[in-house]
Amino acid sequence: MSAASDVTFAQVAATLGLVGVAVLVSLWQRMRLEGDIAVAVARSFLQLTAVGFVIALVFEGDSLVLVVALIAVMALFGAFTARRRAPSVPKAFLPLLIALGLAGTATLVLLVVLGVFSPEPRYLVPLGGMVIGNSMTAAAVALNRLGDEVTASRREIEATLALGATATQAARPIVRRSLRSGVIPLIDSTKTTGVIFFPGIMVGLLVAGAEPLDAVRLQLIILYMLLGSVSIASVTAVVLAQRNFFTPAQQLLEPIVSGEED
Amino acid sequence: MLFELERVSATRGRRDVLREVSLSLPEGSSCIAGDSGSGKSTLLRLLNRLADPTAGTIAYRGRALGTLDVLELRREVALVPQLPALLAGTVAENVAFGPSLIGREVEVGPALELAGLAADFAGREAERLSVGEQQRVMLARALALEPQVLLLDEPTSALDERARDRVEETLVDLRRRLGLSIVLVTHDLAQAERLADRIVRLDAGRVVGAGGEGPEVRRAPARTQ
């Protein structure tokens, strides 16, 4: 293979040999994951091919309206997916949708205003996808932690409410811990980038034939961009969602505490 | 009348915990006694609106609870839960927390002494105290709000006999010095008789005796030192 831009379907098919290794390992160790591997391969092929056609259409249309529509759809699916990962958070969908929409919009607008990228579909669509994807993961982790923290800290929260604290004041310590959970994985991977692993963008650019330092600069832009967007998404999702654990009368919903249920 | 409950029902989770409870709690010291599962803790939570009833009405000094500002109510009618639940940090930070929410500074030492702790506890880490000491910090934290009513949920259930006696002495002393009204929840009828002017007995979410009227309850004066 000479350059990544010349990749053929035959070359993609050839890499199925490595998938075959995964299937063999599954059979050998009786992991019973062959079906899941097949589904994963088929879905990734279909989904990426479909999105490739959609992106091609958006590029050809060269319209910012299409870009906004595509990012809105990504935020919508992202919010659905993240909601499933935080089942103990009541009414999590809307906070997640707002969080992903805000993270995507704010980050892309800032990149354009700062002159990092020009406002063209070629830049905004892939960057928007990265922002929404990473924001979704971080917001889901943060909300999942929020649900666990509320369950584990009911006694502390209610004891604080009993002192005349508002729901926001009572939830402040758990909000802080949940936000840290959402953002820390990206901070850690940013710290170790280039030492323990090469990030995907940089690998892609190098394989496609870019100069290494050009690849590094673009990768740094992406990493710093993601730190900002992930923080926006986590804080928006957690701050909005924590209200859903409380009634307007500053009462914690479902106040069942083990050992105090009488 | 401090509290008046009229046909109050309440659930926790999906379970009916209180069933059409009607009772009056006068100013002074009242005790709600009952076994585990009788609904006494739930009743206490209703009195400062940590939860609301599913039916019926509750009045505090003649005013319907729902018409009062809930945050002001909780500062005026302070609840001390059954188990300690302190914030991470020092004892002083915990005691000052409630007043700080309304921008008020508080002298930590006197609040600790009222709750039966030496003033030098202020600098200690709350998490490193014994359960009995933590329970007293919970009491000091509530007293720092300068409440008019204290709601106490089994304040001695985690304590040994000696510590229990000291807490009971503290409560009697508090009532005498501060003129507080106290509503105490306990499973220990003997404790109820030692501490309360009026006793209400609950069983399976219903009142089975109140004051001197109930067949199983005797009216008992508060113990004096």
Q: Is the Cβ of B78 closer than 8 Å to some Cβ of chain A? A: yes
Question: Look-up: residue for tokens 């924001």?
Answer: A135
Q: Is the Cβ of A248 closer than 8 Å to some Cβ of chain B? A: no
Cβ contact B52–A260 (<8 Å): no
| Cα–chain center distance at A122 | 21
Give the CA count within 13 Å in the CB-facing half-sphere of B26. 7
For A55-104, the pLDDT digits (tens) are 999 899 888 999 999 999 999 999 999 999 899 999 999 999 999 999 99
Q: Is the Cβ of A173 closer than 8 Å to some Cβ of chain B? A: yes
Q: Are B18 and B53 in contact (CB under 8 A)?
A: yes
For A208-237, the pLDDT digits (tens) are 899 999 999 999 999 999 999 999 999 999
User: Residue B215 pLDDT > 70, yes or no?
Assistant: no
Between CA A63 and CA A68 the distance in angstroms is 9
Between CA B5 and CA B21 the distance in angstroms is 7
- What order do you get walking across the sheet with B55-60 strand by strand? B15-25, B3-12, B55-60, B63-64
Between CA B108 and CA B68 the distance in angstroms is 29
Report the pLDDT averaged over residues B121-147.
92
Which residue would you say has higher pLDDT here, B225 or B44?
A: B44
Cβ-Cβ contacts under 8 Å, B74 against chain A:
161-164
Amino acid code (one letter) for A171: A
pLDDT of residue B129: 93
Cβ-Cβ contacts under 8 Å, B81 against chain A:
155, 158-159, 162, 260
For A114-132, the pLDDT digits (tens) are 999 999 999 999 999 999 9
Q: Which two tokens stand for residue A230?
A: 């992930």
**Three-class SS state of A252:** strand
Q: How confident is the model at residue B132 (pLDDT cuts 50, 70, 90)?
A: confident
For A153, the closest chain B residue by CA position comes to B85
Average pLDDT, chain A: 91
Cβ contact B101–A260 (<8 Å): no
For A160, the closest chain B residue by CA position comes to B98
Of A173, A256, A262, the CB nearest to B37: A262
The backbone torsions φ and ψ at residue B103, rounded to the nearest 5 degrees and listed phi first, read 70, 25
Q: How confident is the model at residue B115 (pLDDT cuts 50, 70, 90)?
A: confident
Between CA B21 and CA B6 the distance in angstroms is 7
Cβ contact A164–B42 (<8 Å): no
Cβ contact B49–A155 (<8 Å): no
User: Residue B216 pLDDT > 50, yes or no?
Assistant: no
Give chain B's largest Cα–Cα span.
Answer: 49
Between CA A39 and CA A169 the distance in angstroms is 46
Report the pLDDT averaged over residues B5-32.
92
Cβ contact B85–A173 (<8 Å): no
Q: How far is B125 from chain A (nearest CA, A)?
A: 16
**Taking the CB of residue B83, how many other CB atoms lie within 10 A of it?**
17
Cβ contact A159–B75 (<8 Å): no
A104-117 in b/e form (b: 16+ CB < 10 A) is bbbbbeebbeeeee
What percent of chain A lies above the pLDDT cut of 70? 95
**Three-class SS state of A111:** helix
Listing DSSP states for chain B in one string gives --EEEEEEEEEETTEEEEEEEEEEE-SSEEEEEE-TTSSHHHHHHHHTTSS--SEEEEEETTEEGGGS-HHHHHHHEEEE-SS--PPSSBHHHHHHHHHHTTT----HHHHHHHTT--GGGTTSBGGGS-HHHHHHHHHHHHHTT--SEEEEESTTTTS-HHHHHHHHHHHHHHHHHH--EEEEEES-HHHHHHH-SEEEEEETTEEEEETTTSTT----PPP--
Distances (CA, A) of A237 to A94, A109, A141, A232, B52: 9, 20, 11, 8, 28
Between CA B18 and CA B166 the distance in angstroms is 32
pLDDT of residue A5: 62
Total residues found in chain A within this entry: 262
pLDDT of residue A240: 97
Closest CA to B210 of B199, B220, B194: B199
Cβ-Cβ contacts under 8 Å, A155 against chain B:
81, 83, 85
User: Residue B121 pLDDT > 70, yes or no?
Assistant: yes
Distances (CA, A) of A116 to A123, A137, A187, B93, B197: 10, 25, 22, 47, 75
Report the pLDDT averaged over residues A244-253.
94
Distances (CA, A) of A13 to A17, A185, A236: 8, 33, 42
Partners of residue B15 on adjacent β-strands: B12
For B79, the closest chain A residue by CA position comes to A162
Instruction: Tell me the whole-structure pTM to 2 decimals.
Output: 0.83
Is B207 exposed, middle or buried, given 0-12, 13-18 or 19+ CB atoms closer than 10 A?
A: buried
Q: What secondary structure letter does DSSP report for A120?
A: -
Partners of residue B201 on adjacent β-strands: B33, B209
User: Residue B224 pLDDT > 70, yes or no?
Assistant: no
Q: Are A58 and A125 in contact (CB under 8 A)?
A: yes
pLDDT of residue A14: 94
Q: Is the Cβ of B17 closer than 8 Å to some Cβ of chain A? A: yes
* Interface A-B: count of C-beta contacts within 8 A: 90
Distances (CA, A) of A219 to A92, A200, B169: 32, 9, 68
Interface test mutation site (partner A, options B11, B12, B15, max chain A beta carbons within 10 A): B12
pLDDT of residue B128: 94
For A172, the closest chain B residue by CA position comes to B87
Question: Which residues are CB-contacts of B7 (< 8 A; sequence separation ≥ 6)?
Answer: B20, B21, B22, B55, B56, B57
For A32-62, the pLDDT digits (tens) are 999 999 999 999 999 999 999 999 998 998 8
Interface test mutation site (partner A, options B18, B71, B106, B150, max chain A beta carbons within 10 A): B71
Between CA B179 and CA B148 the distance in angstroms is 8
Question: Which residues are CB-contacts of B219 (< 8 A; sequence separation ≥ 6)?
Answer: B197, B198, B199, B211, B212
Cβ-Cβ contacts under 8 Å, A167 against chain B:
none
Average pLDDT, chain B: 88
Q: Are A72 and A133 in contact (CB under 8 A)?
A: no
Q: Is the Cβ of A165 closer than 8 Å to some Cβ of chain B? A: yes
Which residue would you say has higher pLDDT here, B222 or B25?
A: B25
Cβ contact B153–A256 (<8 Å): no
